[in-house]
Amino acid sequence: MTRLRHIGFLLFDDLTQLDFTGPLQVLNRIPGATVHLVARQQGPVRTDCGPFILADTDFANCPQLDLICVPGGWGIDQAMEDDATLDFLRRQAAGAQYVTSVCTGAFILGAAGLLDGVKATTHWRYHSALPRFGAIPVQARVVRDGSVFTGGGVTAGIDFALTIVREVFGEGLAQAIQLGLEYDPHPPVDCGSPTKASPAILDAVDSQFAPRWDAFLRVVDRLTG
């Protein structure tokens, strides 16, 4: 018996593939749970690295979800202004046990009005924009505020999902899933946070985000004034 019978991922074009597939690998191993890949229309959804994901249900036919997860990616700019996406998210959030995001997916939650007064995190490069949606920024890999869970950038989705499993089902299942996935990171370099990066590396990565950041802020300005 599970208290998370229906788990759904909100998909949109140009999502970050690992934002979605990281937590999917964890949450799909919950006994008795059904995972729904939800988009405006059934069929292929483009990721930011080439492959397509097949959405298996659309907004109209999605059952009430116990947990909804919103990944991030370059496509958030369009999703944040899509009324059908935001309406679906609001409807599902009203009946869900857990409303969650990974990386910049937090801003889709924000655009739907679901982060007002809520402690949250997101990718480090976008963290400063959280207050624009009424969120209270917290520098952490996973942040919980009531029924809302937010994960930091990309790989934090795995930690977020294991946090959910431990919350609902206890330490044993979380450990079993972690071991099954052999999630025991020992990266060959140690620069996974801006606090660990040299000024040169930080500047190089920041410059990669700069064009996308400007486009993102134009959307935020339209949404928040």
Domain residue ranges in the chain: 6-186
The catalytic residue among 49, 62, 69, 103 is 103
Per-residue confidence (pLDDT) for residue 1, from 0 to 100? 41
Per-residue confidence (pLDDT) for residue 158, from 0 to 100? 98
Per-residue confidence (pLDDT) for residue 147, from 0 to 100? 96
Low-confidence ranges of the chain (pLDDT < 50): 1
Would you tell me which CATH number, out of the four given (2.60.120.260, 3.30.70.920, 3.50.50.60, 3.40.50.880), belongs to the domain 6-186?
A: 3.40.50.880
160, 106 contact by CB (below 8 A): no
Per-residue confidence (pLDDT) for residue 73, from 0 to 100? 96
Instruction: Say whether 103 is catalytic.
Output: yes
Residues in contact with 50: Cβ distance below 8 Å, sequence separation at least 6, in sequence order: none
Please, what sign has the CA dihedral across residues 22, 27, 30, 35? negative
